[in-house]
Amino acid sequence: MKQRVAWQLLGPVAALLLFAGSFHAAIQGKVSTCWLGAGDWQLREGEKEARLVGFKWNRLDDVPRWKRDCWFVSAPTIKSESGKFLSYDLKGREPSVYLTKDKGDHTRWLFEIVERTRPQDAKSAGKGSGIKEGADGYTFRVLAAEGRFKNWYLAAEDPPKEEKGRKGKEPARRRLTLVRGKKQATVFEYVETVYFAEHK
């Protein structure tokens, strides 16, 4: 009698262990990216100005550190990792955008949020695991907050036309400028963090 009860209990336990063994344990992983760009273009820091540079990125993947510039977007400023601020001419001589180390009215921007981006449930971690996967950030338009160009939108110039034999050359670049109309404005994307399921 006792032996029969023992086998009855052992059967379900063994089945549970076998079932559990078919799943890989996963924990929440995340990487701070501070990526700023628009579509397949990322904002890169130059000596005196920032430009959008062609770069295709799957938002489920982390961007290698050497392939990106880190930006800090926090109203009312956009600041590079080196401490330079995205700025414009308050007196309005021309609608150009440049980088400066001096913070002031010329570095103040307004942000018009378009959409909040949130990570999704990680399919590979199993239903109800609470583990997320994907980008966390938002898309937005940017407006100058002060001076003659107040309420003008930040925009990127049109990408250069395809050149024959471009392979092996530097990636295409787009300069930033200010424009009057909302339709001409660039919708930027800021990815603060990328979440992923780390399997053990």
Over 50: is that where the pLDDT of 100 sits?
yes
50-55 CB contacts, 8 Å cutoff, 24+ apart: 50/80, 50/86, 50/97, 50/99, 50/176, 51/173, 51/174, 51/175, 51/176, 52/156, 52/173, 52/174, 52/176, 53/171, 53/172, 53/173, 53/174, 54/159, 54/171, 54/172, 54/173, 55/171
The pTM assigned to this predicted structure is 0.78
Q: What is the pLDDT of residue 7?
A: 34
Rounded CA gap, 105 and 77, in Å?
10
Over 80: is that where the pLDDT of 114 sits?
yes
Q: What is the pLDDT of residue 99?
A: 97
Q: 166 is written with which tokens? A: 């471009």
16-42 pLDDT, tens digit each: 333 344 345 788 888 888 999 999 999
Domain 26-199: give its CATH architecture.
Answer: Trefoil (2.80)
Over 90: is that where the pLDDT of 81 sits?
yes
Query: Where do the domains of the chain lie?
Result: 26-199
SS3 for 170?
Answer: coil
